[in-house]
Structure 1
């Protein structure tokens, strides 16, 4: 699926990534956590073809995708919905730019996530959680082989964030699309992912990899288990060792 091979990236004298390697397999949910400023968002820019790497390789299904845009589905921290477009028009905008909009498929997806009565609404008429659902469905209908989600729930209140995590899992467990998920929340990574990659401070490489041991489908009760608490503390310790500004939630 996605293979990141010994990549490096710098901006002038600032080295952001160095010898970074990992893989995301077909149908896998992989989370990335790391100190603030360690280059997580830069990594997504490189995978999405927005910026070029200095060395290494980025392969998707064994094909080189360096500086190739439109090869992945992307969901940013903010929904980035166009205020003058309706929900349906926002969902289909990526396909529209590629001259192959499929409004019927978009309507089906919006119905699946409980937004069928809002297809003609505008973003300001939606709650924060609803806007994030629209942003996610926009990435889904683009039908790319992997979704890159960049801290998509960080701006939400705690209750809505927990609700959105459960919602995302329910969608992912049904369709098993490969997901690469950046988060600052240790608990979010543990609850959602199959594997967690811990980055070092800048210039970032992989410090540790953790296999999440919880069975699927995931239940809310695992958050209160002794295993969950122990793994959460272990991940926090790894991040403290990097002396970064991290969350311990």
Structure 2
């Protein structure tokens, strides 16, 4: 489904990514972790077709990424809702820019993320977790073939983040959308991922790919879960000793 091959990215003399290579199968949930500044967000933007690699290439179903012609959903780290639009209006936006009209789909995805009854609310009236649900619903409404998520839960409190982990897992189980999520949270990575890609410090390259062979939904207190978490933390400590 996705093939990232020898991708490097320079900004002038600053090398951010170096020869990043990995593959993602259709329906997989892949999480990318790595030290701050190692190029995780840059890599996600290259996969989305929002930036161009200096060298190397990305293929989605055998074709270079093109946001205009490929159905790629992107959940940003920052709040990206339009404050002048209601919940329903924000979710409908993705359909509008594609020239589609599907009120039933909008209602369905709003209900799916647990916001039924909040259709006419504005973003300022919602909690952080509810706003993030709206962003996820907006992505789901266009039925993307690939979902990219850049630290979507980084600004949420621990309790809300845990709830969102469970909800995102349930959504992925239902739709089996190919998903790539970037995070600093190792526990989040182990809970959600079919495999975790660990990047080195800048210039980021693939240090190790770790398949997470745990039954879902996962118990964060289980011995095996803690073992996976410790393994990833040890790999990150090799890059940044004071983690």
Same fold (TM over 0.5): yes
Q: Per the alignment, do residues 244 and 10 of structure 1 end up closer, same or farther by CA in structure 2, a change over 3 Å counting?
A: farther
Find the counterpart in structure 2 of residue 228 from structure 1.
225
Deviations 1:129-176 (A, max 9, x none): 110000011111122211001110110000000010001111111111
Count of aligned pairs between the two proteins = 241
CA root-mean-square deviation: 1.3
**Structure 1 segments unaligned to the other structure (5+ residues):** none
Q: Per the alignment, do residues 239 and 135 of structure 1 end up closer, same or farther by CA in structure 2, a change over 3 Å counting?
A: same
Find the counterpart in structure 2 of residue 32 from structure 1.
32
Which whole-Å CA distance do the structure 2 matches of 1:129 and 1:151 have between them? 13
TM-score by length of 2: 0.95
Find the counterpart in structure 1 of residue 7 from structure 2.
7
Q: Is the 8 A contact 1:35 1:245 kept in 2?
A: no
Which whole-Å CA distance do the structure 2 matches of 1:241 and 1:46 have between them? 26
Pairwise CA distance, 1:114: 2.0
**Structure 2 segments unaligned to the other structure (5+ residues):** none
Find the counterpart in structure 2 of residue 115 from structure 1.
115
TM-score by length of 1: 0.93
Which whole-Å CA distance do the structure 2 matches of 1:245 and 1:201 have between them? 13
Find the counterpart in structure 1 of residue 237 from structure 2.
240
Q: Which runs of 4+ in 1 moved over 6 A?
A: none
Which whole-Å CA distance do the structure 2 matches of 1:197 and 1:244 have between them? 19
Pairwise CA distance, 1:245: 7.1
Pairwise CA distance, 1:14: 0.4
